[in-house]
Structures are given as C-alpha cells and as structure tokens.
Amino acid sequence: MPMPSIAKRLLKPAVFTLCLAPALWMGALAFTGGLGANPIEALTRGMGDWALRFLLVGLALTPLKGITGWGWPVRVRRMIGLFAFFYAALHLSSYVVLDQFFDWSAIWKDIIKRPYITVGMATFIALIPLAATSTNAMVRRLGGRRWKMLHRLVYAAGIGGVFHFFMLVKADLREPMIYAVVLAALLGWRIVTIVRKNAATERAI
Ligand code: HEM
C-alpha cells in the first residue's frame, strides 16, 4: 500500500526526533541529578544500550521490508545506522572523558587488559567506515557492490556489541541474552535469504 504523502514527508523528521529522544532524556536526567548513585556509570551504560539497540533496529529494517513489503523501513535505515554510531561515540566519550578523565595510559591499559574493552573498541572501529561511507557520494565512489560488501561489517559490529555486553556482565545474563536472540534471528534471516537467492540463481542457469 503506498504511503500518504504527508506521512512520507513526516517520516524522517519523526524518526530523527525519536532517535534523539534517549540522548535528550539522559542529558536531562544528568542535569537534574536523576541518574542515581553512580551517574557516570549510568550514562556510559545508557549510551551503550542505545548504540546496541539502534544497531539491531537498523539490521531489522531490511527483513521488515521483506516480510511486509513496506518501503519506508529502508528509507530510514541509514539514519538509524548513523544514530547507532552517534550513541556509540557518546558511549566512548563518556568512558574517555567522564570515567577516565582523558588518562590515555589508563585507557590503553584497559584496552589491553580488559577483554570487554578490547571488544568494545574493535566494535567501535568497525562502525567508523560504515558511518564514513554513509553518504550518497560515497556509495557512488565505492560502487554498489563494494559498498554493500563493506556494509556487511554491520553484522560483525552487531556480534561485537552483543559479545561486549556478555563479557561485562557478571551474573545476570538475561539482558545480553535478549540482544543475542534478536541478533541470531536477524543473522538467521540473512542467511536464509542468501541461500534462497543462490538457489534461485542456480535454477535460472
Ligand atoms: C568504543 C569502545 C568502547 C568502550 C571503551 C566501551 C566501554 C564500556 C564500559 C566501560 C561499559 C560499562 C561497564 C561497567 O559499568 O561495568 C560498557 C557497557 C556497555 N557497552 Fe560499551 N564500550 C565500547 C563500545 C561499545 C559499542 C560499540 C557498543 C554497542 C554497539 C557498546 C555497548 C555497550 C553495552 C550494551 C553496555 C552495557 C550497558 C548496560 O549495562 O546496560 N559498547 N561499555
């Protein structure tokens, strides 16, 4: 069913506002003392949560289009991916600035000695080329095939984000488990579509 033109025009501003809301909410809580006894940890963790959520929402949009036939999910996919990067950058900034006070030698020691920080950093590094090549000009420069191949890194980033979460929780695995199940379903869907596509190509030959 085609989307009414007013909904089409409002889609991106509405999604943009929704994606920005958690940062504004956490900022407001930080300024009003609403982040609890350990506000720095709450802020770092909150931003990490939203980075992972937006990463998974971004991955869910293509399956959503495949299942429903709606066109709008892919129209906001790039924006949601960039918001995942935005929250990951805020998460990292919160750790570097508020948690470690720019103590680069302590940060370096953390990266080497605490495996969950190593995995978090690797995940963040994987997100950089995705954010940097998100413009139309970069899609044209790289060519569709190469761009698509590069953007498969988003699955590695999803695995890295979930793994990072598993590694840092000490006892209660329920929350990272929910993310792991969602990610496994999205990866499963992706594998099934690739297998089906290959089978169809072979039949056509
Ligand atoms: C850039 C490098 C990264 C560093 C240095 C880092 C560091 C941290 C730290 C210090 C915590 C809090 C641990 C604690 O309080 O015990 C944390 C939690 C978390 N991080 Fe990261 N992280 C990084 C990248 C990422 C990325 C890229 C993602 C998502 C894609 C992510 C998602 C999370 C999640 C979901 C949590 C747990 C939040 C919760 O407990 O609810 N992190 N990270």
pLDDT in tens, 82-129: 999 999 999 999 999 999 999 999 999 999 999 999 999 999 999 999
pLDDT in tens, 120-131: 999 999 999 999
One-letter identity of residue 77: R
Which domain, by its residues, includes 124? 5-204
Q: Is the entire prediction scored with pTM above 0.85?
A: yes
For the chain, the domain total comes to: 1
Q: Measure the CA–CA gap between 88 and 142, rounded to whole angstroms.
A: 25
Closest CA to 166 of 131, 128, 123: 123
Ligand 1 and 150: CB distance under 6 A? no
CB-count exposure of residue 23 (10 Å: 0-12, 13-18, 19+): middle
Q: Whose CA is nearest to atom 31 of ligand 1?
A: 48
Q: Whose CA is nearest to atom 36 of ligand 1?
A: 48
pLDDT in tens, 17-29: 999 999 999 999 9
**Ligand 1 pocket, mutate which of 168, 175, 178, 182 (most atoms under 8 A from CB):** 168
Rounded to the nearest whole angstrom, what is the distance from the C-alpha of residue 37 to the centroid of ligand 1? 19
- Decide: 83 and 21 in contact? Cβ < 8 Å: no
Residues 6+ apart with CB under 8 A from 107: 95, 96, 100
Backbone φ/ψ region at 159: left (φ over 0), alpha (ψ -120 to 50), beta: alpha
CB-count exposure of residue 42 (10 Å: 0-12, 13-18, 19+): middle
Ligand 1 and 107: CB distance under 6 A? no
